[in-house]
């Protein structure tokens, strides 16, 4: 459902063969695809595990956007660069296609950066104390947290 919101870069997962994973979300709201099957990840109990899911693909897209933002692009410019440089034509299953970060960086180098805003009000940061939230791991490697 969050994929239906404007401004969300909806991500789907690809399997090791580069095809849409059997568990992956698809549809006209999907923007980009990224590897999401058997991804090495941290796991509870101070371990590592291979996990699969769109939740394994989303960090790859988010990290790619972060790299482009670090090059001076705005959030919308970064998303547009990922869309324009993705492998594969837009289709009803995986949006613009698979993220191609190398191509995105090359394209971003040709995109004028967004000017940095001048001094203004600083955000207020409220620290979260340990114990303010209760987090529970579920069986598929994810977790959920609720405020106490």
pTM above 0.75, yes or no: no
* Per-residue confidence band for 27, with pLDDT thresholds at 50, 70 and 90: confident
Phi, psi of 76 (to 5 degrees): -70, -35
Per-residue pLDDT of 46-68, as tens digits, reads: 999 999 999 999 999 999 999 99
Torsion of CA 102, 79, 3, 36, to 10 degrees: 10
DSSP 87: B
**Range 81-110 average pLDDT:** 89
At residue 132, the 3 state secondary structure works out as coil
d(CA 79, CA 66): 10
* Per-residue confidence band for 29, with pLDDT thresholds at 50, 70 and 90: confident
């Amino acid at each position: 459902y969050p994929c239906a919101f404007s401004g969300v870069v909806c991500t789907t997962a690809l399997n090791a063969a580069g095809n849409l994973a059997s568990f992956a979300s698809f549809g006209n709201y999907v923007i980009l695809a990224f590897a999401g099957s058997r991804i090495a990840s941290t796991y509870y109990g101070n371990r590592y595990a291979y996990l699969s899911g769109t939740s394994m693909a989303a960090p790859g897209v988010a990290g790619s956007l972060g790299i482009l933002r670090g090059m001076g692009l705005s959030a919308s410019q970064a998303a547009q660069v990922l869309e324009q440089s993705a492998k594969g034509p837009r289709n009803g299953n995986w949006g613009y296609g698979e993220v191609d970060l190398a191509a995105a960086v090359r394209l971003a180098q040709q995109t004028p950066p967004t000017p940095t805003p001048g001094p203004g009000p600083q955000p207020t940061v409220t620290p979260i104390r340990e114990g303010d939230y209760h987090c529970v791991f579920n069986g598929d490697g994810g977790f959920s947290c609720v405020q106490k």
